[in-house]
Amino acid sequence: MTYSYVSHLECPVCDTTYDANKIQQLCTCGSPLLVRYDLERVRNEVKRSAIRERNPDLWRYHELLPVQHEDHVITLGEGMTPLLSMPKLGERYGLTHLYMKDESLIPTGSFKARGAAVGISKAKELGVQQFAMPTNGNAGAAWALYAARAGIKATIVMPQDAPSITRTEVSLSGAELFLVNGLISDAGKMVAEKVKHDQIYDASTLKEPYRIEGKKTMGLEIAEQLGWAMPDVILYPTGGGVGLIGIYKALQELKEIGWLAGKLPRLVAVQAEGCAPIVKAWEEKKERSEFWEQSTTVAFGINVPKALGDFLVLRALYETDGMAIAISDQELLEEQQHIAEYEGAFVCPEGAATFAAAKRLTEQGWIGRDESVVVLNTGAGIKYPDTVKIEVPLLEIGESII
């Protein structure tokens, strides 16, 4: 039985192809590489009904993942997160079919675990023994922990302002950790220098081709969970944008192998007003974004002033008749509270931004009230204790609460 139908790597800019059995980073032209599969063989040899009986993790789609031998899979049980109906919040927004894909139920409490699971597994298969990467926190935590399980050595550099729990995760894993008094772009420069000097694997976003494949599984799961159908709209909090690129890739692949039919959902990139390079580029109908100066937002995971894959994100928006929208910190924090009050979900700030966008786009009529809408909550609110301010009465023993 063929475990993976991976065929090769391909540059989406200059079409150069690369061997997927060797370590590859960027294309010589500077673009990220995409993983290609023998989709015709998948169409002929794999039945989607076979998926149903497999374990509820992302490896159930192993034919469409790049790891060639099951023995190389490094898993902490990631994937098949819930697709939850949000009826009360939907009613508040004026939406009949509102769903949350809830990535808080995943190792490390963030969707970054998907990219790390597939990225680390493939790195192990390729013989990688050491890597370095910059991170806004959650990706570094996930990669460090999966690396520990795989026995791979990791160096992680993150901004001082990244969620502090992610420091603890990296540190506990035994990885080498540095904080920088700057942004992820500053951390990125340090990592670039290190990987060049030490000749080690560069696991920076999109500089290795496999984390997209992990993130792609969000799209595969949404399709399966909707009974192999697509929603009308998917909203995604967009920093580096890998998840959006991955979801788009997943749905295209599913169409090509015949497991899905019809129009692709309109993809919406949700950013913060304090860091909205994709929104600006989309409004100006550009192919690429520009570096966003002095970016700032409480939704730290989407504080990415310039994404390497910006052109792939924008391409996905244009080709699906999607759009990009920016949300203020105040709006997303208010929405975070409403989501908990109405539906009992404590989402991360990035996820809350996505809900706020769904609300606003429905009010504006861009989303129709009977359309089916999936919002991505990319992580657990419990990783961000400081974004919520509360006051609680303190009682002494024996006091009454009547």
- Show Cβ contacts of residue 188 under 8 Å, excluding neighbours closer than 6 positions: 134, 204
Asked if residue 155 binds a second copy (CB under 8 A), the reply is yes
Question: Strand 233-237 to strand 266-272: parallel, antiparallel, or no bridges (unpaired)?
Answer: parallel
Question: From the list 167, 249, 266, 306, which residue makes contact with a second copy (rule: CB under 8 A)?
Answer: 167
Stretch that binds a second copy, among 6-14, 145-153, 211-219, 254-262 (CB under 8 A): 145-153
Question: From the list 213, 329, 343, 350, which residue makes contact with a second copy (rule: CB under 8 A)?
Answer: 343
In angstroms, what CA-CA distances link 156 with 62, 174, 191? 28, 11, 8
Q: Which of 254, 334, 232, 198 is nearest to 42 (CA)?
A: 254
Stretch that binds a second copy, among 144-152, 239-247, 266-274, 309-317 (CB under 8 A): 144-152
Question: From the list 149, 280, 286, 315, which residue makes contact with a second copy (rule: CB under 8 A)?
Answer: 149
Question: From the list 198, 283, 287, 290, which residue makes contact with a second copy (rule: CB under 8 A)?
Answer: 198
DSSP 275: B
Q: Which of 58, 53, 164 is nearest to 103 (CA)?
A: 58
Q: Which two tokens stand for residue 213?
A: 């494949």
Asked if residue 108 binds a second copy (CB under 8 A), the reply is yes
Asked if residue 400 binds a second copy (CB under 8 A), the reply is yes
Asked if residue 1 binds a second copy (CB under 8 A), the reply is no
* Site size toward a second copy, by CB under 8 A: 81
Identify whether the C-beta of residue 288 lies closer than 8 Å to the C-beta of residue 371.
no
Identify whether the C-beta of residue 251 lies closer than 8 Å to the C-beta of residue 275.
no
What is the footprint of a second copy within residues 114-143 (CB under 8 A)? Answer: 132
Min dist CB 88 to a second copy, Å, is 8
DSSP 132: E
Q: Which two tokens stand for residue 131?
A: 């890597």
Question: From the list 8, 190, 226, 273, which residue makes contact with a second copy (rule: CB under 8 A)?
Answer: 190
DSSP 65: S
Asked if residue 90 binds a second copy (CB under 8 A), the reply is no
Min dist CB 123 to a second copy, Å, is 14
Place of tokens 């997943």: 250
Radius of gyration of the chain from Cα atoms? 20
What is the footprint of a second copy within residues 69-88 (CB under 8 A)? Answer: 74-77, 80-82, 84, 88
Question: From the list 23, 50, 261, 388, which residue makes contact with a second copy (rule: CB under 8 A)?
Answer: 388
Which CB, 354 or 387, lies closer to a second copy?
Answer: 387
Stretch that binds a second copy, among 22-30, 307-315, 323-331, 375-383 (CB under 8 A): 375-383
Which CB, 186 or 256, lies closer to a second copy?
Answer: 186
Q: Which of 9, 4, 8, 7 is nearest to 207 (CA)?
A: 9
Please tell me the distance from the alpha carbon of residue 374 to that of residue 266, in angstroms, as a whole number.
11
Asked if residue 191 binds a second copy (CB under 8 A), the reply is yes
Total length of the chain: 402
Stretch that binds a second copy, among 20-28, 305-313, 335-343, 359-367 (CB under 8 A): 335-343
Asked if residue 335 binds a second copy (CB under 8 A), the reply is no
Min dist CB 334 to a second copy, Å, is 12
388 C-beta neighbours (distance < 10 Å), count: 13
Question: From the list 10, 63, 125, 169, which residue makes contact with a second copy (rule: CB under 8 A)?
Answer: 169
Min dist CB 83 to a second copy, Å, is 8
Q: Which of 182, 111, 101 is nearest to 141 (CA)?
A: 111
Asked if residue 261 binds a second copy (CB under 8 A), the reply is no
Which CB, 68 or 164, lies closer to a second copy?
Answer: 164
Question: From the list 127, 284, 365, 392, which residue makes contact with a second copy (rule: CB under 8 A)?
Answer: 392
Please tell me the distance from the alpha carbon of residue 132 to that of residue 250, in angstroms, as a whole number.
27
Asked if residue 182 binds a second copy (CB under 8 A), the reply is yes
Identify whether the C-beta of residue 148 lies closer than 8 Å to the C-beta of residue 177.
no
Residues 1/9/259/60 CA torsion (nearest 10 deg):
50
Min dist CB 75 to a second copy, Å, is 8
